[in-house]
Amino acid sequence: MTSASGPESTVTSNEEQLRQARDRLLRHVAKRRGSRFTSDARNIDKEVEQLELKKRCLLTKRLMLHGQYNDWLNDLVLHRTVIPYSRAWNRAFTAQMHSRLPREVRDMVYGYLWYFDPKRTSLHDVGTRRLRQHHDFQCSPGATDVIQIHGLLLDLAQNLYRGNSHNITELCDKSALPHYISPAYVGLEMAKEIGMSFYYTVNLAGLLQCGAESIRSVLNKDCFDLGLLTIDLVRTLTVHCKMDRYRAPPPCRKPAITCQHTASEIGHVRKSALEMEFGAFFDIKNKQDFKLHIILYQRSIRMEVLAEVIEALASVVQHLKQHGACVTVSWTYRGRWEKYNRPPPRRGLVDRDITDFFDLPRSLWVYNMRKTYNASRGWILPRHYHESHEVDPRLGSRNTDTFNHIVHNMYADFNEEQGTTDEEEEEDDVKRGKRFRVEGF
């Protein structure tokens, strides 16, 4: 019995295996057909969606006959319908807000209009490192960075963009500027209140900056054309001053032993230009608690140049301090790094607070500054550093050789006289990731 049943069980087992193999094959074929069918069906669905979209566009175009379609394409609907409705709605809303809310509550509301991330780095970290502060009001973590989105706000305040009331209204219509600074949307009185809140925000954050040559134009500008002068509202300002731009021209281009130079020819800096531009701060009426930070950039390093710049700024700095202002001054090297073409590991090597230099004897701060120069020599390009020994012209007031020596050494070579080029500085800024955009700066 056992031997007889052996072949039959083997045949049954083989048939079962064949059946299972056939089932697997059928499932595989069905799966392939199903995936191909699914792909074809998906393509058909996409084509149907495109046809539906085209149908809706054609129906819309049909409904907008008799010129409406062309008006929409040419923004006539925007100017004839959308903008007038938006202005009317906003003016009605702000009128109720002005009549129902006291000024203190309105100021709280205005604060949220100028929100930006408190952790946001300013346009120039050196200039705002000692001034950066946080806002008093709180906003949701996902709030929009208004000042970053509307870059023209700071451009207007820093005199980088010049426009009249018509330009500003047009920019508000196009959303290049927030609409609530335009009297056409919120009325003149509320637009002024909102403009004042803008300065309150940038004052807290220390965002307002300008070049030394732009001080007067920035302070005397009504950036939003609302009758609000910056000089009456600004409480913090960072001024970027490139000392090389104020170098006096060489008085002697062909030194010779026959030269007869005098003490009147000794001068490395155009002091009158510096005094005129920084003299705009004398016109600030409320100097109490006004914060001014001056950054002195030096690419072609000479001790005499820094000394004359300090002498030119001394009267302004002392005047502001005497009237309750907070003035800080820092020096920094602006140039290409000698080692590895990157900044040194310790910022203090090329950045120094020199505020106390205005109260120290020249001999003492010169000694301290020389130590900073010497510590930075490894990072500063050799052609940017010019070591010289100061000679007091009073010691040799009747010695022509003394004056000749000083005048002939005011410029070491043609490269120093040529100074720095805008292209070279822009390239350095891009490499360092700090591009401060100031017109003519």
Distance, in Å, from the CA atom of 363 to the CA atom of 301, rounded to the nearest integer, reads 18
Select the highest-mean-pLDDT range: 54-68, 105-119, 282-296, 384-398. Answer: 282-296
Distance, in Å, from the CA atom of 226 to the CA atom of 410, rounded to the nearest integer, reads 48
Percentage of residues in the chain having pLDDT higher than 90: 30
Distance, in Å, from the CA atom of 230 to the CA atom of 284, rounded to the nearest integer, reads 10
Q: What is the structure's pLDDT at 37?
A: 66
Q: What is the structure's pLDDT at 160?
A: 78
Residue 107 or 336, more confident: 107
Check: CB of residue 298 under 8 Å from CB of residue 258: no
Number of alpha carbons in the 13 Å side-chain half-sphere of residue 270: 16
Q: What is the structure's pLDDT at 27?
A: 76
Distance, in Å, from the CA atom of 101 to the CA atom of 380, rounded to the nearest integer, reads 58
Residue 341 or 135, more confident: 341
Q: Is the pLDDT of residue 44 over 60?
A: yes
Distance, in Å, from the CA atom of 237 to the CA atom of 284, rounded to the nearest integer, reads 12
Query: φ and ψ at 218, to 5 degrees?
Result: -70, -45
Distance, in Å, from the CA atom of 340 to the CA atom of 81, rounded to the nearest integer, reads 60
Query: Which residue do the tokens 């490894």 mark?
Result: 378
Query: φ and ψ at 292, to 5 degrees?
Result: -125, 130
Q: Is the pLDDT of residue 431 over 70?
A: no
End-to-end CA distance of the chain: 110
The whole-number average pLDDT for the span 88-114 is 93
Q: Which of 327-336, 344-353, 374-383 has the weakest average pLDDT? A: 344-353
Q: What is the structure's pLDDT at 198?
A: 93
The whole-number average pLDDT for the span 117-130 is 43
Q: What is the structure's pLDDT at 102?
A: 95
Q: Is the pLDDT of residue 35 over 70?
A: no
Q: What is the structure's pLDDT at 382?
A: 74
Distance, in Å, from the CA atom of 106 to the CA atom of 272, rounded to the nearest integer, reads 46
Q: In the chain, what are the domain boundaries?
A: 102-226, 235-441
Distance, in Å, from the CA atom of 180 to the CA atom of 89, rounded to the nearest integer, reads 12
The whole-number average pLDDT for the span 31-38 is 66
Check: CB of residue 114 under 8 Å from CB of residue 147: yes
Check: CB of residue 123 under 8 Å from CB of residue 209: yes
Distance, in Å, from the CA atom of 321 to the CA atom of 216, rounded to the nearest integer, reads 20
The whole-number average pLDDT for the span 106-124 is 71
Distance, in Å, from the CA atom of 121 to the CA atom of 279, rounded to the nearest integer, reads 30
pTM of structure: 0.69
Residue 331 or 65, more confident: 331
Rg for the chain, CA atoms, rounded: 36
Distance, in Å, from the CA atom of 269 to the CA atom of 134, rounded to the nearest integer, reads 38
The whole-number average pLDDT for the span 197-205 is 90
Per-residue pLDDT tens over the stretch 216-238: 999 998 988 899 999 999 999 99
Residue 122 or 340, more confident: 340
SS (H, E, C) the chain: CHHHHHHHHHHHHHHHHHHHHHHHHHHHHHHHHHHHHHHHHHHHHHHHHHHHHHHHHHHHHHHCCCCHHHHHHCCHHHHHHHHHHHHHHHHHHHHHHHHHCCHHHHHHHHHHHCCCCCCCCCCCHHHHCCCCCCCCCCCCCCCCCHHHHCCHHHHHHCCCCCCCHHHHHHHHHCCCCCHHHCHHHHCHHHHHHHHHHHHHHHHHHCCCEEEHHHHHHHHCCCCCCCCCCHHHHCCEEEEEEEHHHHECCCCCCCCCCCCCCCHHHCCCECHHHHHHHHHHHHHCCCCCCCEEEEEEEECCECHHHHHHHHHHHHHHHHHHHHCCCEEEEEEEECCCECCCCCCCCCHHHCEEECHHHHHCCHHHHHHHHHHHHHHHCCCECHHHECCCCCCCHHHHCCCHHHHHHHHHCCCCCHHHHHCCCHHHHHHHHHHHCCCCCCCCC
Q: What is the structure's pLDDT at 233?
A: 94
The whole-number average pLDDT for the span 41-55 is 86
Query: Which residue do the tokens 């510590």 mark?
Result: 375
pLDDT band at 432 (very low <50, low <70, confident <90, very high): very low
Q: Would strands 326-333 and 351-353 be described as parallel, antiparallel, or unpaired?
A: antiparallel
Per-residue pLDDT tens over the stretch 165-181: 568 888 888 888 899 99
- Computed over every residue of the chain, the mean pLDDT equals 75
Select the highest-mean-pLDDT range: 130-134, 137-141, 207-211, 265-269. Answer: 207-211
